[in-house]
Amino acid sequence: MTNLAATPRLGKGVKTSYDRTRDSHVVLFPEGVLVLNETAAAVVGLCDGHRTIADIAARLGERFDGVLPEDVADLVTRLAARRVVETDG
């Protein structure tokens, strides 16, 4: 799992968009397209290379119930495995 002090950012060539056809947020990356649910889209939107995972979780906790820093770290780890985000830790 990714360290809660890591500062994730979008990977090279990765772009976010809203796909009207799918009525969903998506991430476009060199290997494909990833359709995101609302919470995942919020996490990706906060991956700016400045906020830590703990900061992202705290911010999301203001908008969504039951946000755990460990869940955010797990999502970032899975996104990093797909090269959607990069982390410094």
Number of residues assigned to the chain: 89
Q: Give the CATH number of the domain where residue 77 resides.
A: 1.10.10.1150
| pLDDT per position as a tens digit, 41-68 | 999 999 999 999 999 999 999 998 899 9
Where residue 89 falls among pLDDT bands split at 50, 70, 90? low
* Structural domains of the chain, count: 1
Q: For residue 73, is it within any domain?
A: yes
Q: For residue 4, is it within any domain?
A: no
Q: For residue 89, is it within any domain?
A: no
Ramachandran bin of 47, using left for φ above 0, alpha for ψ from -120 to 50, beta for the remaining angles: beta
What domain range includes position 19? 9-82
To the nearest 10 degrees (0 to 180), the angle between helices 53-61 and 69-81 is: 120
Q: For residue 88, is it within any domain?
A: no
Q: For residue 87, is it within any domain?
A: no
| pLDDT per position as a tens digit, 23-40 | 999 999 988 999 999 999
Residues 41/75, Cβ–Cβ less than 8 Å: no
Pairing of strands 24-29, 32-36: antiparallel
Q: For residue 72, is it within any domain?
A: yes
> What tokens appear for 69 in the block?
């820093």
